[in-house]
Amino acid sequence: MANGILLIECADQQGIVSSVTDFIYTNKGNIVELDQYLDHENGHFFMRIEWALDDFTIEKEKIGEYFNTLLAKRFDIRYNLYFNDEEPRMALFVTKLSHCLIDLLGRWYNGSLHVKIPVVISNHEYLRDIVEKFGLKFYHIPITKENKAEQEQKHLEILEENKIDFVVLARYMQIIGEGLIKSYESRIINIHHSFLPAFVGAKPYHAAYARGVKIIGATAHYVTEELDAGPIIEQEVSRVSHHNTINDLVQMGQDVEKITLAKAVKKHVLRKTLVVGNKTIIFN
Amino acid sequence: MANGILLIECADQQGIVSSVTDFIYTNKGNIVELDQYLDHENGHFFMRIEWALDDFTIEKEKIGEYFNTLLAKRFDIRYNLYFNDEEPRMALFVTKLSHCLIDLLGRWYNGSLHVKIPVVISNHEYLRDIVEKFGLKFYHIPITKENKAEQEQKHLEILEENKIDFVVLARYMQIIGEGLIKSYESRIINIHHSFLPAFVGAKPYHAAYARGVKIIGATAHYVTEELDAGPIIEQEVSRVSHHNTINDLVQMGQDVEKITLAKAVKKHVLRKTLVVGNKTIIFN
Amino acid sequence: MANGILLIECADQQGIVSSVTDFIYTNKGNIVELDQYLDHENGHFFMRIEWALDDFTIEKEKIGEYFNTLLAKRFDIRYNLYFNDEEPRMALFVTKLSHCLIDLLGRWYNGSLHVKIPVVISNHEYLRDIVEKFGLKFYHIPITKENKAEQEQKHLEILEENKIDFVVLARYMQIIGEGLIKSYESRIINIHHSFLPAFVGAKPYHAAYARGVKIIGATAHYVTEELDAGPIIEQEVSRVSHHNTINDLVQMGQDVEKITLAKAVKKHVLRKTLVVGNKTIIFN
Amino acid sequence: MANGILLIECADQQGIVSSVTDFIYTNKGNIVELDQYLDHENGHFFMRIEWALDDFTIEKEKIGEYFNTLLAKRFDIRYNLYFNDEEPRMALFVTKLSHCLIDLLGRWYNGSLHVKIPVVISNHEYLRDIVEKFGLKFYHIPITKENKAEQEQKHLEILEENKIDFVVLARYMQIIGEGLIKSYESRIINIHHSFLPAFVGAKPYHAAYARGVKIIGATAHYVTEELDAGPIIEQEVSRVSHHNTINDLVQMGQDVEKITLAKAVKKHVLRKTLVVGNKTIIFN
């Protein structure tokens, strides 16, 4: 049977852990994973708790209501409740580069990503073939300076029609509009091809090459209105040398990008990420 | 135009580098990359030289003959000559796990692997669908204790028919027979899902979990008759913790496996590997 | 003021986390860090809790008694209670190599290691000078086949006289006797100069060189009677290439060894390690 | 006996490698290591060659003259000639933090750094004790806004008196003046406690914490007039999590800093670094 997952956030105060774990135990839930984090600086408390529903005495549909009534109000908790048998619906945005796309499609294909992919959206036709090979819907929404606002409206409609839960920018080479960012706050994951905050913006490998760094990296982050400045979910690096050309960096970087993005997506899907201000808490 | 690539091996002696580079320069070749290695212990010299053929005055078909006559005989050099516009023909062997397969197919699909894949061979039907999605030939050659010798003969026939240059075992869960190993010496690449020489043999993640290691790894190596003991081409690692179950190790390990294997395959394809005894030299 | 630290281990059962955190909160303790781990496979529960004693209403000397009476008996908890203002007393065993020794002495000197070092013991005189430069006691206890048992008795006496809490083998090139191992179970930390379980025993860099690995490593572990087979605390790795001689591996390995050992010692000192069977739990 | 080392730089042209290796061989030198790099973009050629002088027929004092006459003029080569039995004279600049200092002193003490350390200079008294424990000269040169220019003059005098070859800023918390930078171009190594170009300037760990990065780093670079912008020699990184406080980052960072700095210093000492524009070539 399924597991329930609660992501919890509140002011630090006595009795929260006890009360939440008691809520699970008393109702015959079997705790599978519990991880909490106390931000001393700001007096904030965060917790992720996952428990098996097999013998849980509160029926699935009522858990939210009960938790809200019995605990959330009492401790002034902000929370999200998920069930791990309900696969989130992910939309992919791509442009021309296929490495992140195929990596995610591969994970989806072999069942290790635990998502549905109702739609892939691109501003170009390049990747239609590979997307359709995998039996997925592909929308070509070309973007020009003139039609940008209008096409972003179309994005939003497609996402809504397809009941999309979160969006992954798998090397989508367009800046995302405010409307989409607001509608999907902390639910748009971008992969930036540098070790942020170094090399914000376009052509980071060219900049890395010019600076003569000995290590390159990639950063998966939630998208906010400021470019490449959103909360970081995951970062990975790779060693380079003076032998490597810009093209080498681009090639080597693709491996780092796709792994970093996939790790971030997986953490998001498993509900192991929590955004606090401009940072993330990543649970075990 | 194409580049020529020479992989050279001989006893260390005066004048080799000079003579080889002179051979290229005198005939108007433009050296693109030169890397050499001197094994002091054994007095052996190794070199990889790659040069542009654009203005090279010896015609492509004659380069081997000239090099052999003018240099190989003189210095008693063992060498291989390649051209980077001739994509090597790679056969993939797989069983049920798709992560290494899809990763390599993705790289082939976007043109970054520089190989042809005339055939994918499997002892199961599981991966036929994904292979055929990519438009490649899939052979199902089931293996039992009884038919093993016979089926290995079939393998060899298929490889021969398809003029296969090298074989990649992309998580192929069968031990390779002597015949194939001998026919494709230093041309069969296996990915082993541990940091060799730790955890040779079956179920390395189970063994790693039982030992309580803090880092797992993967090893790409050329296949020799002794199991998991061939020359290592590439190794990568990933940090784990006591929180991780065996299943976590298996999942996390898949990322390490596929990247390690792809790096090894790429080095092989670029003719940057040389086997010496039970080790490899990996050129820049 | 000081913090109290409880390391807790018991069968998984309802109400443990609640009861322990309540014990702290009710008595006006301020929880600074809480990390727990549930071993589903074996139904075991582990927790580390650290809290500020500033306003704690139970006096320091009585905490153990109260915890034992009110909680340990009730839940059948095995526990250890520590206070972070009581620096553990560490004995160092060394032979000839100074890199791990000086690294630990440096950390002790600048106050970042939080230990006392009442004594350094060696089977050679080589490192007396550097140890005495740092103002520490140095015992030269030479070991021969004939005097081994007797000298190990002397070790135990010195450790006892100096009220040693734990022992660090900082590249001590002798096998530790049963007596010492039994007296200091899970309290002797060794640094082995390989990525265990690869290359157990003597001369691991020679073995790594012979095998042609592309990555070397070091392993800090608690010493048990089976050589190099005790619970692993920390592992680190470093990339090598065919250019590296055995001597290069030895040199590069020294950096990995000293950092790995220091990390393990620090975790031990902060009471963040718990040995379970032949594995460790490492708390945040 | 000693080895000779030549670092060579010139426009790419036919016959350089041959001519240089012939120069060594013809005069009965035994090449120990040869590494070259061709910068295609700019048509520049770089080489490091190291050879044993045992049977070399040109006497040590004359090698420079002969090389200059026979080769440097012919190919318009810029070169430096070193001998590995002549330990370079290193000055250390420190402030209050001891981790990089003790790490370098430890390496010097056990003979693995191959330098002389005639002098340690500090703007504070804090580290006098540890420096003098190691038997080295310690100069306290306090810096204020008023005396800065004057004290920098004193620095230069001390360096000159002590015939210093290169300077290492081992967490020296003062900006280096123009005079010193000009006198020691490409010969002042600084360790910056971030993964440059991220977090230039003061308090990088605070900035990294505020940005919520998942990986921190350190960068060893040659000092140029622009702050933290000189040619990078070495970079290393370390993974962090939301559990880590600023103080944790500072502590964890110290391990990365000292290892990165030591690696850079070692490469400099072995004459394996070459500055080209604002980048470095790091030879094998």
Q: What is the pLDDT of residues B82-113, one digit of tens each?
A: 999 999 999 999 999 999 999 999 999 999 99
Cβ neighbours of A105 in B, within 8 Å: 102
Could you say which of B17, B40, B239 has the minimum Cβ distance to residue D17? B17
Cβ neighbours of C279 in B, within 8 Å: 212, 242
Amino acid (one-letter) located at C24: I
pLDDT of the residue at B223: 98
Tens digits of per-residue pLDDT, C30-74?
Answer: 888 889 998 888 889 999 999 999 999 999 999 999 999 999 999
pLDDT of the residue at D70: 96
Q: Are residues A138 and A41 in the same domain?
A: no
Cβ neighbours of A228 in D, within 8 Å: none
Query: C18 pLDDT band (50/70/90 cuts)?
Result: confident
Across the interface, whether the CB atoms of C106 and D110 are under 8 A apart is answered no
Lowest mean pLDDT among C12-21, C185-194, D93-102: C12-21
Q: Taking the CA of residue D234 as centre, how many other CA atoms within 13 Å lie in the half-sphere pointing to its CB? A: 21
Q: Is the pLDDT of residue D213 over 80?
A: yes
Q: Are residues C101 and C72 in the same domain?
A: no
CB of A258 closer than 8 Å to CB of A219: no
Q: Is the pLDDT of residue C17 over 90?
A: no
Q: How many angstroms separate the CA atoms of A62 and A60, rounded?
A: 5
Helix, coil or strand: residue D259: helix
Tens digits of per-residue pLDDT, A265-279?
Answer: 999 999 999 999 999
Q: Are residues B225 and B243 in the same domain?
A: yes
Last residue of a domain, one of D83, D116, D140: D83
Q: Are residues D59 and D169 in the same domain?
A: no
Task: State how beta strands D78-83 and B279-282 pair.
Answer: unpaired
Last residue of a domain, one of C43, C59, C83: C83
Alpha helices (H) along chain D:
16-26, 60-67, 73-75, 99-109, 128-133, 148-161, 178-183, 204-211, 246-269
How many separate domains does chain C show? Answer: 2
What is the DSSP secondary structure assignment for residue B70, as one 8-state letter?
I
Nearest in space to A115 (alpha carbons), one of A62, A20, A187, A221: A187
d(CA A99, nearest CA chain B) in Å: 7
Chains near C (3 or more Cβ pairs under 8 Å):
A, B, D
Across the interface, whether the CB atoms of C18 and A14 are under 8 A apart is answered no
Cβ neighbours of B130 in A, within 8 Å: 109
Q: Is the pLDDT of residue B269 over 90?
A: yes
Cβ-Cβ contacts under 8 Å between A and D: the total is 72
Tens digits of per-residue pLDDT, B215-230?
Answer: 999 999 999 999 999 9
Chains near B (3 or more Cβ pairs under 8 Å):
A, C, D
CB of A253 closer than 8 Å to CB of A100: no
Q: Are residues B117 and B29 in the same domain?
A: no
Chain C interface mutation, best of D95, D99, D171, D266, highest count of C Cβ atoms under 10 Å: D99
CB of D237 closer than 8 Å to CB of D216: yes
Lowest mean pLDDT among B156-160, C26-30, C277-281, D185-189: C26-30
Cβ neighbours of C212 in B, within 8 Å: 231-232, 278-280
Could you say which of D133, D241, D251 has the minimum Cβ distance to residue C133? D133
Cβ neighbours of D110 in C, within 8 Å: 97-99, 102
Q: What are the CA-CA distances from residue B198 to residues B38, C158, C249 (Å)?
A: 29, 38, 18
Q: Which of C35, C39, C228, C248 is catalytic?
A: C228
Average pLDDT over every residue of B122-139:
98
Contacts of C221 (CB under 8 A, 6+ apart): C189, C190, C192, C196, C228, C230, C231, C232, C233, C264
Q: Are residues C99 and C227 in the same domain?
A: yes
Chains near A (3 or more Cβ pairs under 8 Å):
B, C, D
Q: Is the pLDDT of residue A159 over 90?
A: yes
User: At CB < 8 Å, which residues of chain B contact C?
Assistant: 37, 195-199, 211-215, 217, 231-237, 241-243, 278-282
pLDDT of the residue at B76: 97
Three-state SS annotation for D179-229? HHHHHCCCCEEEEECCCCCCCCCCCHHHHHHHHCCCEEEEEEEECCCCCCC
Chains near D (3 or more Cβ pairs under 8 Å):
A, B, C
Q: The domain spanning residue B46 has which CATH number? A: 3.30.70.260
Q: How many angstroms separate the CA atoms of C99 and D45, rounded?
A: 38
Tens digits of per-residue pLDDT, B177-217?
Answer: 999 999 999 999 999 999 999 999 899 999 999 999 999 99
pLDDT of the residue at B167: 98
Q: Is the pLDDT of residue C176 over 90?
A: yes
Chain A interface mutation, best of B97, B133, B270, highest count of A Cβ atoms under 10 Å: B133
Q: Are residues B133 and B267 in the same domain?
A: yes
Cβ neighbours of B220 in A, within 8 Å: none
pLDDT of the residue at C22: 87
Average pLDDT over every residue of D166-172:
98
Q: Is the pLDDT of residue C158 over 90?
A: yes
Could you say which of C15, C25, C34 has the minimum Cβ distance to residue A36? C34
Across the interface, whether the CB atoms of D38 and B31 are under 8 A apart is answered yes
Tokens for A195, please give them: 């070790």
- Which residue in chain A has the smallest CA separation from B133? A133
Length of chain C: 284
Report the percentage of chain B scoring pLDDT > 70: 100
How does the average pLDDT of chain D come out, rounded? 96
Q: Are residues B153 and B16 in the same domain?
A: no
Q: Are residues A66 and A127 in the same domain?
A: no
Chain D interface mutation, best of A214, A241, A244, highest count of D Cβ atoms under 10 Å: A214
pLDDT of the residue at C88: 98
| Residue B39 annotated to the active site | no
Across the interface, whether the CB atoms of D22 and B31 are under 8 A apart is answered no
Q: Are residues B108 and B208 in the same domain?
A: yes
pLDDT of the residue at C116: 98
Tens digits of per-residue pLDDT, D5-23?
Answer: 999 999 988 778 888 988 9
Across the interface, whether the CB atoms of C130 and D112 are under 8 A apart is answered no
pLDDT of the residue at D144: 95
Chain B interface mutation, best of C214, C245, C272, C284, highest count of B Cβ atoms under 10 Å: C214
Across the interface, whether the CB atoms of A197 and D195 are under 8 A apart is answered no
Across the interface, whether the CB atoms of A134 and B134 are under 8 A apart is answered no
- Which residue in chain D has the smallest CA separation from B25? D14
pLDDT of the residue at D46: 96
pLDDT of the residue at B14: 78
Tens digits of per-residue pLDDT, D240-283?
Answer: 999 999 999 999 999 999 999 999 999 999 999 999 999 999 99
Query: B144 pLDDT band (50/70/90 cuts)?
Result: very high
Task: State how beta strands A89-94 and A166-169 pair.
Answer: parallel
Cβ-Cβ contacts under 8 Å between B and C: the total is 71
Domain residue limits at D75: 3-83
Helix, coil or strand: residue D258: helix
Q: The domain spanning residue C274 has which CATH number? A: 3.40.50.170
pLDDT of the residue at B244: 95
Cβ neighbours of B29 in D, within 8 Å: none
Q: How many angstroms separate the CA atoms of D137 and D123, rounded?
A: 14
pLDDT of the residue at D7: 98
Cβ neighbours of D31 in B, within 8 Å: 38
Q: Are residues C199 and C107 in the same domain?
A: yes
Across the interface, whether the CB atoms of D217 and A215 are under 8 A apart is answered yes
Q: How many angstroms separate the CA atoms of B204 and B254, rounded?
A: 13
Q: How many angstroms separate the CA atoms of C22 and C24, rounded?
A: 5
Q: Which residues of A are catalytic?
A: 228
Across the interface, whether the CB atoms of A259 and B262 are under 8 A apart is answered no
Across the interface, whether the CB atoms of D106 and C110 are under 8 A apart is answered no
Average pLDDT over every residue of A214-221:
98
Q: Are residues A63 and A120 in the same domain?
A: no
User: At CB < 8 Å, which residues of chain A contact B?
Assistant: 97-99, 102-103, 105-107, 109-110, 112, 130, 133-134, 243, 251, 254-255, 259, 262-263, 284
Cβ neighbours of D197 in A, within 8 Å: 198-199, 211, 213
Cβ neighbours of A25 in C, within 8 Å: 14-15
Last residue of a domain, one of C53, C83, C113: C83
Query: C14 pLDDT band (50/70/90 cuts)?
Result: confident
d(CA D41, nearest CA chain A) in Å: 9
Chain B interface mutation, best of D31, D37, D56, D281, highest count of B Cβ atoms under 10 Å: D31
Tens digits of per-residue pLDDT, D23-54?
Answer: 998 999 988 888 999 888 889 999 999 999 99
Q: Taking the CA of residue A215 as centre, how many other CA atoms within 13 Å lie in the half-sphere pointing to its CB? A: 26
Across the interface, whether the CB atoms of B278 and C212 are under 8 A apart is answered yes
Tokens for C224, please give them: 């048990």
Across the interface, whether the CB atoms of C22 and A31 are under 8 A apart is answered no
Could you say which of C97, C110, C130 has the minimum Cβ distance to residue D99? C110
Tens digits of per-residue pLDDT, A34-90?
Answer: 899 988 888 899 999 999 999 999 999 999 999 999 999 999 999 999 999 999 999
Task: Kindly tell me the sign of the dihedral angle through the C-alpha atoms of D197, D199, D205, D210.
Answer: negative
d(CA C110, nearest CA chain D) in Å: 7
pLDDT of the residue at B25: 87
User: At CB < 8 Å, which residues of chain D contact A?
Assistant: 37, 40, 195-199, 211-215, 217, 231-237, 241-243, 278-282
